[in-house]
Amino acid sequence: MIIDELILYKDFKRKDILESFELLLEMYVLNDPEIDEDMMDDLRGSLTRAAHSLICLADDFGFEGNLWHCFLAYLLCNNENPFSCACEIRGRIEGSMNDIALMDFALFQELFEADIEGMADWLDVDAVKVMLNYRPYKDNGKTFNKRIRDRICNLAVKLAAADNPEDFMDIMTDFYKSFGVGKFGLNKAFRVRHVGEETVIEPISNIRHVDLDDLVGYDIAKKKLIDNTEAFLKGKPANNCLLYGDAGTGKSTSVKAIVNKYYDQGLRIIEIYKHQFQDLNDVIAQIKDRNYKFILYMDDLSFEEFEIEYKYLKAVIEGGLEKKPENILIYATSNRRHLVRETFKDKADRDEELHTNDTVQEKLSLAGRFGVSIYFGRPDKKEFQKIVRELAERSGIEMEEEKLFLEANKWELSHGGLSGRTAQQFIDYLLGGM
């Protein structure tokens, strides 16, 4: 089997589908005259099961066109091996690994050229032919959004048209350099979870698509965030960012919008919660040598007196013997400027601790390790009305301004006060009643 001859490209996801189709293709090519009708029935059953698995995969990912080619392209763009990871960072490479990769791509080209239609005719399973020009009923799948789906489908078309293994390898090399490989190449947002004892960085398939322009006002705050992020992407010195201020003012929205804005420039975001801070070193070890810029995102960050997780974070931000990777920054949002809760007891002379100032400095030092602090304050009445008016215009709500503001003012009095979040909730309320 071809899959057994591959050297660099091993350990595929959904390897079972590839093995099933390849075994059936081998039987088709051999066309052994000793195969009786019972064996043919077994082969038909194997083909329909393999086709079922492929169609379910296509439904999950939203594939269209030639599903066999899309599946092969999916395997290639997800396989993290020494060649694909090297191309992700350097583009075209030289040396013996290049020669080995060329041999693997020659084998993959054979799979692209496999006569699936002829095999379907041989086994008299016409339904399989539909997979060669498949039309999905939706624009995106459960796992991949339309952008990722199109990227893989377009790659499949290019690879199918390659004239020789050299062209095939050029296409894959350009893909790896442009988009990367594996989950980090295809996705923009991730979360952290444990699988047994292993720390796993897991893609988030659907991240809310927001733009910085969606956040009305806060121009100075947004510019500080943009300037720091652009410096980071250009390889210039950049700082960890703390976005702090009142609730509902757009701190989290700004971070999500930054990732959407700069995803095509290699920016990725990993959401991590404070109970996972002990896993930070494992997370950093998995991403420090990749060809992307990563933001470790900590939303609504704050600590009570009894919580000591902030000590892990302090050590990662600025401590230890190992140099902090240049492709990683930490962006955190918080309603607290100093992150760790302080009390008057920390400063009181009657505290049992002899060196009370040390306690205070220990708690303040975490916020001090964020080089850029950006304040998001609650809008005043006039700014709140401006936000309401602009959101109403964007949503196509036609209402006299005086009445709009009157209703908005009544809404905010019973729904959390003046904030951008309250304004958006008010607009959603109006849209729900239209």
331 DSSP β-pair partners: 241, 297
CA proximity to 371, closest of 339, 331, 335: 331
Rounded to two decimals, the pTM is: 0.77
What length does the chain have?
A: 434
Of all residues in the chain, what percent carry a pLDDT higher than 90? Answer: 40
* pLDDT tens-digit series, residues 54-112: 999 998 888 999 999 999 999 999 999 999 988 987 888 888 999 999 999 999 999 99
For the chain, what is the mean pLDDT?
85
Domain spans in the chain, listed from the N-terminal domain onward: 2-186, 203-376, 381-432
Q: What pLDDT does 44 receive?
A: 92
SS (H, E, C) 155-180: HHHHHHCCCCHHHHHHHHHHHHHHHC
Q: What pLDDT does 197 receive?
A: 82
The answer to whether residue 357 scores a pLDDT higher than 90 is no
Least confident of 23-27, 232-236, 315-319: 315-319
The helix/strand/coil state of 188 is coil
The answer to whether residue 244 scores a pLDDT higher than 50 is yes
What mean pLDDT comes out for the span 394-402?
86
User: Regarding predicted confidence, which is higher, 137 or 359?
Assistant: 137
CA proximity to 272, closest of 262, 281, 259: 281
Question: Confidence class of residue 425 from pLDDT cuts 50, 70 and 90?
Answer: confident
The answer to whether residue 355 scores a pLDDT higher than 70 is no
CA–CA distance, 201 with 190 (Å, rounded to integer): 6
Bridge-based pairing state of the strands 372-376 and 241-245:
parallel
CA–CA distance, 47 with 59 (Å, rounded to integer): 18
Handedness of CA 159, 161, 167, 170 (dihedral sign): negative
What mean pLDDT comes out for the span 340-352?
49
Q: How far is CA 378 from CA 212, 217, 253, in A?
A: 18, 11, 15
User: Regarding predicted confidence, which is higher, 264 or 139?
Assistant: 264
Residues 6+ apart with CB under 8 A from 416: 247, 248, 422
Of all residues in the chain, what percent carry a pLDDT higher than 70? Answer: 86
Angle at alpha carbon of residue 314, lines to 311 and 320, rounded to 5°: 105
CB 240 within 8 A of CB 370: yes
Q: What pLDDT does 175 receive?
A: 93
Q: What pLDDT does 307 receive?
A: 58
What mean pLDDT comes out for the span 185-207?
87
Residues 6+ apart with CB under 8 A from 36: none
CA–CA distance, 266 with 250 (Å, rounded to integer): 24
* pLDDT tens-digit series, residues 8-60: 999 888 899 999 999 999 999 888 777 888 888 999 999 999 999 999 999 88
Q: What pLDDT does 174 receive?
A: 93
The helix/strand/coil state of 430 is helix
Question: Confidence class of residue 384 from pLDDT cuts 50, 70 and 90?
Answer: confident
How far, in whole angstroms, is CA 337 from its chain's centroid? 29
Q: Does domain 203-376 have CATH number 3.40.640.10?
A: no
Q: What pLDDT does 381 receive?
A: 87
Q: What pLDDT does 66 receive?
A: 96
Residues 6+ apart with CB under 8 A from 423: 216, 384, 387, 388, 391, 408, 412
